Amino acid sequence: MISGFHSQIEKDVLHFLLKGKQPIIMVLARGMQKRFKPELKQAVKENRLLIVTPFEKTVIRPTTKTAIIRNRLMIELADEVFIAYALPGGNLEKLMGNNSVNICSV
């Protein structure tokens, strides 16, 4: 599972994923944080969580631009891409373009 885990629903999903044993990759839309929650530290220690960022530590806030760069990186790293929701005509849909991807809209 690879995600930015930025939105509240993504954070909720991460909470439940951390209770499992599957590997997780968290890609930040900012530079590396200085502090992480204990449950994230534990998952890193257990080699179940990898936290990466394409940005220098001077990038302290996620922006639309950094989120697009982060999303491109996740797409390049992933073997398969499943997007639970993409706003029609939004940045994510534009980023995917004609790439083969499953987008589930509810």
Please give, one letter per residue, the 3-state secondary structure of 24-79: EEEECCCCCCCCCCHHHHHHHHCCCEEEECCCCCCCCCCCHHHHHHHHHHHHHHCC
pTM: 0.83
pLDDT of residue 56: 96
Residue 8 in this model has a pLDDT that exceeds 90: yes
Torsion of CA 3, 61, 12, 83, to 10 degrees: -30
- Type of residue at 32: M
- Residue 39 has φ and ψ, to the nearest 5°, of -65, -30
Residue 68 and residue 74: Cα distance in Å, rounded? 10
Average pLDDT over every residue of 102-106:
47
pLDDT, one tens digit per residue, over 13-61 is: 999 999 999 999 999 999 998 899 999 999 999 999 999 999 999 999 9
Residue 99 and residue 106: Cα distance in Å, rounded? 21
pLDDT of residue 101: 53
Domain boundaries along the sequence of the chain? 2-78
pLDDT, one tens digit per residue, over 65-90 is: 999 999 999 988 888 888 777 788 88
Residue with token string 């439940």: 16
pLDDT of residue 105: 46
